[in-house]
Amino acid sequence: MLDFALSRITDATTGQPTDATTGQPTDATTIQPTDATPGGPTTQTSGGPITQTSGGPITQTSGGPITQTQGGPTTQTPGGPTTQTTAPAPAPAPAPKPPLLTVATEGWPPNVAKATALLRPRGVAVVAAAEDDPLPFADGAFDLVVSRHPVRPHWAEIARVLRPGGTYFAQHIGPNSVFELVEYFLGPQPDGVRSARHPDRERADAEAAGLDVVGLRAERLRVEFHDIGAVVHFLRKVVWMVPGFTVEAYEPRLRELHERIRAEGPFVAHSTRHLFDARKPG
């Protein structure tokens, strides 16, 4: 998965929204809807056609056709035909312009080519960067940094590449995530391992790097493994949960867990996540 995605949304000189194609500030003028001619109910007791372009109900007790292009119901008791048409729907709002620049970093070599193939057609550059290396960008280069499940959020680097007023928005893995399964295979883990990635600690680290944490929400979500195949699939995909996992190495424990699931029902664990919303002052 990508480590970070970073976007430049505004022009670095003016601070105004910028067209990603021309580099010129976009026109921020808002066009207000025009004021159509209002009108209340219109009544005619006898006579020819009645036309109303906007307004409330029209009533005619006798006479010729009635036409209303916009408004409420039209009623005619005797007389000719009644016609009511509807004004055309307003045009949809234009799509928001893409960021002036968006780049993504990737630290796992097999993912670099795959991420490039997916993101280059969308105008996103992918930069190979090792997990613990500094982000290869200038100070204050981006308005927004986003991430999903970083191994370790490098707060000092995130703060460095953000412009004053910029945002870091990310979902992090929380403490003890799916540890019921981890400890089933590895046994009880030290307190330092169990409490790693605690949101309170990460908040303190973000603030120490100079960021203001304006939102932090934690969740603990139920995970059910209904058969031993699901357990094997999970541990083969999420290889850091039980390092070095193979079916052969853990066959006795897998067989025990298989019998437990058959007898008692799903094996239940809990996934923890927290959502960060931080700003760089300025």
Task: Tell whether pTM > 0.85.
Answer: no
The predicted structure's pLDDT at residue 60: 46
Q: Burial of 186 by CB count in 10 Å (0-12 exposed, 13-18 middle, 19+ buried)?
A: middle
- 177 close to 193: Cβ distance less than 8 angstroms: no
The predicted structure's pLDDT at residue 195: 85
CA distance 172 to 280: 19
With CA atoms as reference, report the closest residue to 224 among 181, 171, 263: 181
The yes/no answer on whether domain 4-12+97-174+195-219+273-279 falls in CATH 3.40.50.150 is: yes
Domain ranges of the chain: 4-12+97-174+195-219+273-279
Per DSSP, helices labelled H in 145-198 are 155-161, 179-186, 191-194
Which residue type sits at 168? Y
Q: Which residue has the tokens 């002036």?
A: 100
The predicted structure's pLDDT at residue 245: 97
CA distance 78 to 172: 71
Is the backbone of residue 65 left (phi > 0), alpha (psi -120 to 50) or beta?
beta
Which residue type sits at 208? A
Q: Which residues of the chain have pLDDT under 50?
A: 11-64, 66-72, 74-77
Terminal CA-to-CA distance of the chain, rounded, Å? 31
**Interhelix angle 228-237/251-264, nearest 10 degrees:** 130
Phi and psi torsions of 156, nearest 5°: -65, -40
Q: Please, what is the Cα angle at 54 between 52 and 59, to 5 degrees?
A: 50
Q: Please, what is the Cα angle at 240 between 237 and 244, to 5 degrees?
A: 90
Give the pLDDT confidence of 23-37 residue by residue, as tens digits: 343 333 222 333 333
With CA atoms as reference, report the closest residue to 137 among 119, 157, 154: 157
Handedness of CA 17, 22, 27, 33 (dihedral sign): negative
The predicted structure's pLDDT at residue 80: 53
Give the pLDDT confidence of 59-99 residue by residue, as tens digits: 444 444 544 444 445 444 455 555 555 567 788 888 777 78
CA distance 146 to 126: 14
